[in-house]
Every structure is written in C-alpha cells, then in structure tokens.
Amino acid sequence: MQLVVARIGRAHGIKGEVTVEVRTDEPELRLAPGAVLATEPAAAGPLTIETGRVHSGRLLLRFAGVADRTAAEALRNLLLIAEVDPEVLPEDEDEYYDHQLMDLDVVTKDGEEIGRITEISHLPSQDLFIVERPDGSEVMIPFVEEIVTEIDLEEQRAVIDPPPGLIDDVIDDQADSDEAADGSGGSGASSRDES
C-alpha cells in the first residue's frame, strides 16, 4: 500500500537541496538516506534520498541526480510516496494511518450519526477529518483528543464530542433549508447584528 509521506517545497541553496513538508510521524524511517520514494505525479520519480538534515526546524533533503538549484526547483510540490505494508501499524496506540481512518462512521457520544470520513486533511496546526453527511454536505472535524474521543477500528467508527457550533450550525442550516423547501418556514424570524 502507498502512503504520502511528504511534499517537496522550495529549493534550498545551490546544491540541490529542497525543503520538505513532512506528512508522516516516522520521518526517520520513511525519509532516511537510501529510501526510494515514488512521486505524484509519477513521471518525476522514483527519487532516492541521498542526504537529509534539519536546518532551522525544517527538513532538507537532497536526491540522487539532483545536483543544483534548477533541478531542485523542478521538484517543487511533488508528493513523496512510500510503499508500506498494510498490516504494519504505528508504534503508538493513539496513532493511525490515513487508510485506517478512511470510511469510518462518525457518531457523537450520544449516538447521533454525523457521517463518514471521506478525507483527512493534514494542516500544520492539526489534522482534520472531512466528513460527508448523509445529505451530501461536508463538515470538518479537528482530529484532536478533546473532540475525537474514541477511534474504534473493530466497529469502524469514530466517536466525537463536538463543542457547540461545530456540528450544530451544519444541522441548523440543513433544518432551515428543509423547512424552506417544504414550505413550513419555521418562525420566519431572523436577526442580524448590524453594528
């Protein structure tokens, strides 16, 4: 199975190094010198890591055959993909590979069905579950311990305890559009603070 482990950023210096946005919890394993990685788009790869180092908090890599800044710039925005045994799990029991979380049902701690995880977005500050609701709309749920209280891989579900407004606004917006569509319209009253 293939996993995206990094995205190549800008060239660094004149000797072919590039900055790398790490997308794995195991960079010392996946992005070590000698590692051969597929790329997306595939035509640019495979790439073999020649050297790696941390500079000012950023990982810098140099690949075999990439000897100058021009060649390094040509790699910008490529995704680096590692081949991973699907049976191998992360060492920490609170860590998951994306493929383990995809298609999990998302329910609240009270049992209310929210939807199904269709995508995981890896942002610098935190990861987000992109959840498709039964009506086709999407909601983003931060993958943080305070909100995602349980991952049950056997039952194929993620249990959440959302703060007010995270899911409620989506539910309220859907209810309002359903009422408008069926003509009931609710109270018809709304207010907007115009300061």
What confidence score (pLDDT) does residue 43 get? 84
DSSP H or E run through 82: strand 79-83
> Is residue 6 domain-shared with residue 54, that is, in the same domain?
yes
> Is residue 104 domain-shared with residue 31, that is, in the same domain?
no
Say if CB 72 and CB 18 are below 8 A apart.
Answer: yes
Longest dimension (CA), the chain: 68
For range 66-72, the mean pLDDT: 92
Which CATH number do you get for residue 41? 2.40.30.60
Q: How confident is the model at residue 184 (pLDDT cuts 50, 70, 90)?
A: very low
The conformation of residue 42, written as its DSSP 8-state character, comes to G
Tens of pLDDT, residue by residue over 87-129, are 666 667 777 877 788 899 999 999 899 999 998 887 777 888 9
For range 160-166, the mean pLDDT: 90
Q: What does the alpha-carbon distance between residue 142 and residue 164 come to, in Å, rounded to a whole number?
A: 14
Give phi and psi for 14, each to the nearest 5.
-115, 5
> Is residue 50 domain-shared with residue 119, that is, in the same domain?
no
What confidence score (pLDDT) does residue 169 get? 54
> Is residue 70 domain-shared with residue 142, that is, in the same domain?
no
Six-digit token pair at 48?
A: 């073999």
Whole-number average pLDDT of the chain: 81
Give the total number of structural domains in the chain: 2
Residue 137 identity: S
> Is residue 107 domain-shared with residue 166, that is, in the same domain?
yes
Which among 115, 82, 109, 114 is positioned nearest to 98, based on CA atoms? Answer: 82
Q: How confident is the model at residue 186 (pLDDT cuts 50, 70, 90)?
A: very low
The conformation of residue 124, written as its DSSP 8-state character, comes to S
Which CATH number do you get for residue 144? 2.30.30.240
> Is residue 107 domain-shared with residue 151, that is, in the same domain?
yes
Q: What does the alpha-carbon distance between residue 143 and residue 132 come to, in Å, rounded to a whole number?
A: 15
Q: What residues make up the domain containing 175? A: 98-181
For range 59-67, the mean pLDDT: 92
Q: Is residue 91 part of a domain?
A: no
Q: What does the alpha-carbon distance between residue 15 and residue 12 come to, in Å, rounded to a whole number?
A: 8
Say if CB 114 and CB 167 are below 8 A apart.
Answer: yes
> Is residue 9 domain-shared with residue 43, that is, in the same domain?
yes
> Is residue 109 domain-shared with residue 146, that is, in the same domain?
yes
> Is residue 77 domain-shared with residue 138, that is, in the same domain?
no
Q: How confident is the model at residue 158 (pLDDT cuts 50, 70, 90)?
A: very high
Q: Is residue 88 part of a domain?
A: no
Q: What does the alpha-carbon distance between residue 59 and residue 106 come to, in Å, rounded to a whole number?
A: 34
> Is residue 79 domain-shared with residue 110, that is, in the same domain?
no
Q: What does the alpha-carbon distance between residue 20 and residue 61 come to, in Å, rounded to a whole number?
A: 7
Q: Is residue 92 part of a domain?
A: no
> Is residue 76 domain-shared with residue 7, that is, in the same domain?
yes
What confidence score (pLDDT) does residue 175 get? 47
Indicate the pTM of the whole model: 0.55
> Is residue 133 domain-shared with residue 167, that is, in the same domain?
yes
Tens of pLDDT, residue by residue over 5-23, are 889 999 999 999 999 988 7
